[in-house]
Amino acid sequence: MIHGLSHITFIVRDLDRMEALLVSVLGARKVYDSGDTTFSLSKERFFVAGGLWLAAMEGDPQPCRTYNHVAFKIEDVDHDELLNRIRSLGLEVRQGRSRVEGEGRSIYFYDHDNNLFELHTGTLDERLYRYARGRQDEGVTQAQ
């Protein structure tokens, strides 16, 4: 039986560039840097963001982009500021999927190594409630 999420690892070419993303956008704090001493497959850095352990490991990134992604919870009031931070790093913002009103807003963006991130304002309970209500009388909105 699982007890929760242990950690998320991202494989990247440039640890410094990934650190800039994690610190600037996710507010992560670096807690470990292997330097030239590796205990794993390659150089790595560990971060903590929102109580989550995030690992960045040096290596060959994904060869192509997919919709596989990690979604981080954000507050709606922070949406526009985080979007500006993402754009200031020169990262590609992906067009969001169609959403029904009431399920939250999302920002999807790729890092430089084809990893897709989502910053989402909603919760699972909010989404389940909204889906249970159906789409009656409400239009579909396009996320940013």
> Among 118, 128, 56, 53, which residue's Cα sits nearest to residue 82?
118
Local confidence band at 104 (pLDDT 50, 70, 90 cut-offs): confident
Q: For position 74, what pLDDT does the model report?
A: 94
More confident residue, 86 or 3: 86
Helix axes 79-88, 15-26, angle to 10 degrees: 160
Structure tokens at 49: 């963001």
85 band by pLDDT with thresholds 50, 70 and 90: very high
pLDDT at 136 over 70: no
- CATH number (2.40.50.100, 3.10.180.10, 3.40.605.10, 3.40.1080.10) of 1-59 reads 3.10.180.10
Q: What is the pLDDT of residues 30-71, one digit of tens each?
A: 999 999 888 888 999 999 999 999 999 999 988 999 989 999
The domain ranges of the chain are 1-59, 62-144
Q: Percentage of residues in the chain with pLDDT exceeding 70?
A: 90
The answer on pLDDT for 79 being more than 90 is yes
The question of whether 58 is a catalytic residue gets the answer: no
| Beta-sheet strands, E only, within 15-73 | 29-33, 44-49, 52-58, 69-73
**Do 1-59 and 62-144 have matching folds?**
yes
- Choose, from 19, 44, 103, 138, the residue flagged as catalytic: 44
Work out the widest C-alpha separation in the chain, in whole angstroms: 59
Q: CATH for 62-144?
A: 3.10.180.10
